[in-house]
Amino acid sequence: MGNKKILVTSPLLPPLKELQPYLEKIWESKWLTNNGHYHTQLEKALSEYLKVPYVSLFTNGTLPLMVALQALRITGEVITTPYSFVATTHALWWNGIKPVFVDVDLATGNIDPNKIEAAITPKTTAIMPVHVYGNPCDVEAIQSIADKYGLKVIYDAAHAFGVEENGKSILEYGDMSTLSFHATKTYNTIEGGALICHDAKTKEQIDYLKNFGFAGETTVIAPGINGKMDEVRAAYGLLQLKHVDNAIQRRKAIADIYRKELKNVEGITFFQDLSTVKYNYSYFPIFVDEEKYGISRDRLYEKMKSKNIFARRYFYPLISDFSTYRGLPSSSKDNLPNAHKLADGVICLPMHHELEEDDLSRILELMVK
Ligand SMILES: Cc1ncc(COP(=O)(O)O)c(C=O)c1O
């Protein structure tokens, strides 16, 4: 067994020779961006793959969050989770919206619907949950609270590419959902993302907003932004769709091995998969209980590093602990006990399609010993 570097992820790349003909077409056409041929094709292909009718491509996964908030005219306060990547809350901040953090459910890492109502004030206009690690939120419970109080729901589904529950895409829930196609994600377009909505008129509005608000050559109907995906990345994205299922299958096999080998290790726990959910195996988070495991999460993390195994502590620290958000009343530790418990114990183990049996043995040997 060697000592090669094992990284938490490795990007899925389409074979270079498959990309070449696409690049030649782009060079021939000289149409590089602004709703080009491959952009149109990828929106169509993704809408079929993801089983949702309306997909608007973006240049990353942060801009669709920003645009969703603009399109739905969200203001005031938005209820969200501290257990996510910081972009979720930054999108609110950039829109002048106050985030209100609600604690998470220990079984999924997602916002706990039972704690949402207590956080609603007259200024609340929306809920922005995250399907963290691709684990589906309790979408029914969240929707019934939203309906009761007249709130919008925007799902940050950055991790939830292709995730389904009871045969239905998780992206069908809420008013809108956003995806990230960042290089580290299960499906990537290097940088990229999408905004999912449920009707043609809203898609049209989103498409104006991601193109500076232009609704014609000389008409600007809103203060839009530049969120457009270019032709090269759209073509790359089309190719990725041919390979992503194999990559997900390999990830599933790795998750099965981790589960099997770690299930009896005292002090190490992980989320349980539900039989009703089709997962994408984006991440494999484990949670270390220092007392039972014998060493702390950080000791284990450092030990891995010393053996050239680079896991990551997603999501530690909590967003509510970053300087921008620390002063908010909802950021207090007492308000977020479960989120702190997860953040203090988590390590995301290496998870990608290129991990080999030897790599897994090295990781597991170190953890099980
Ligand atoms: C939960 C979550 N939301 C939003 C984003 C932002 O996506 P992007 O990096 O594509 O802008 C990420 C990216 O990693 C994320 O993990």
DSSP of 188-243, one letter per residue? --SS-EEEEESSHHHHHHHHHHTBTTEEETTEE-S---B-PPPHHHHHHHHHHHHH
Please identify, by atom number, the ligand 1 atom nearest to the C-alpha of residue 181: 10
Of 57, 58, 62, 316, the one to substitute when testing ligand 1's pocket (max ligand atoms within 8 A of C-beta) is 62
Please identify, by atom number, the ligand 1 atom nearest to the C-alpha of residue 62: 11
Find the residues whose C-beta lies inside 6 A of ligand 1: 60-62, 84-85, 87-88, 130, 156, 158-159, 180, 182, 193
For residues 52 and 178, is the Cβ–Cβ distance under 8 A? no
Cα–Cα distance measured from residue 38 to residue 31, given in angstroms and rounded to the nearest whole number: 10
Of 63, 81, 85, the one to substitute when testing ligand 1's pocket (max ligand atoms within 8 A of C-beta) is 85
How many angstroms separate the alpha carbon of residue 324 from the centre of ligand 1? 18
Please identify, by atom number, the ligand 1 atom nearest to the C-alpha of residue 130: 1
Please identify, by atom number, the ligand 1 atom nearest to the C-alpha of residue 91: 4
User: Each residue's pLDDT tens digit in the chain (369 positions)?
Assistant: 678 999 999 999 999 999 999 999 999 999 999 999 999 999 999 999 999 999 999 999 999 999 999 999 999 999 999 999 999 999 999 999 999 999 999 999 999 999 999 999 999 999 999 999 999 999 999 999 999 999 999 999 999 999 999 999 999 999 999 999 999 999 999 999 999 999 999 999 999 999 999 999 999 999 999 999 999 999 999 999 999 999 999 999 999 999 999 999 999 999 999 999 999 999 999 999 999 999 999 999 999 999 999 999 999 999 999 999 999 999 999 999 999 999 999 999 999 999 999 999 999 999 997
Please identify, by atom number, the ligand 1 atom nearest to the C-alpha of residue 87: 4
Whole-number pLDDT of residue 31? 97
Cα–Cα distance measured from residue 213 to residue 205, given in angstroms and rounded to the nearest whole number: 8
Whole-number pLDDT of residue 1? 62
Residue 356 to residues 175, 336, 367: CA-CA distances in angstroms?
A: 40, 38, 17
pTM over 0.95: yes
Backbone angles phi, psi at 320, to 5 degrees: -65, -10
How many angstroms separate the alpha carbon of residue 188 from the centre of ligand 1? 12
